[in-house]
Chain A
């Protein structure tokens, strides 16, 4: 899109300057983006987000209907139910997870505010309370492994 005549180029430069002044990328977000590199996992299979109930159906979501996220990889499929969970002053989300095919696992919910570690039972079910809104990714270890074999794509909850 760089095929502009000089007058357009000059006008666009003014627009760019205006944005840099009025609505720049906040410095704390630039720092956060640089720091995201530390979340890099090697050797884990990536489970892509293959379904999000939020993007289906009516444009306006019925209030308080839990959201279903499905992450798919060769090693396992993860279905996560995200419910808004209002308690006290904070507003967190409650995650109910199901690993398919069912099996026990150690599950880490990775979040900018910290990591929540839970154990999935023999039926592959797990539950995490009060996860703050924001980007999350889940990392799963099966059969006592020390490194995650599966990580999910990041998604905002």
Chain B
């Protein structure tokens, strides 16, 4: 049996179906997380953006203009919330009980790039990725999180012109490949 369409899941969730909601969460969590982390937010701030985005969807389930375009709605919402949290500034949350992962030596705490560097040895792709420009990192992360995202939605989520998405994507992949080749040559 084919997977249910996103608009079917939205309709069922709006009608009170927790199972449909869970499927939406499973389908699009990577994307929402990628947008937050793509804004170089620390772990706890990314967690807030992630949660706020899903909470906002709960209230908007019956109000989406085009439920099939949920990926676009989620990535735009997560971007707006990321910008807010960036403006709020880095916060100290000594009594933070949300994030069990907030140990002082948690590599995720300092931001996504640090977490990736920690994985450098086990994954050369990670090492090459961290040497890409910020724009390439953000773009590739979105593409792998949700390959179905339209150019327009990628542009909106990253805040860059839609016309530059195609050429930038090609250039980023080329750079990544070159960096991997370089690494292979010196090891």
Contacts and interface: CB of A to CB of B under 8 A. Distances in A.
Nearest to B13: A37
Interface string B50-74: 1110111011110100000000000
Given A23-B37, A156-B48, A1 B143 contact: yes
Q: Is the interface of A mostly helix, strand, loop or mixed?
A: mixed
Q: How large is the interface on A (under 10, 10 to 19, 20 to 34, 35 or more residues)?
A: 35 or more
A46 B60 contact: yes
Contacts of B169: 1
A26 B47 contact: yes
Interface stretch (A9-17, A98-106, A118-126): A9-17
Interface residues of B, number: 71
B147 A2 contact: yes
A33 B54 contact: yes
A8 B144 CA distance: 11
B156 interface: no
B16 A25 contact: no
Task: Tell which of B54, B126, B177 has the most Cβ of chain A within 10 Å.
Answer: B54
Interface of A: 1-2, 8, 11-19, 21-26, 28-30, 32-34, 36-37, 39-41, 46, 52, 54-55, 59, 61, 89-91, 112-113, 132-135, 137, 151, 153-157
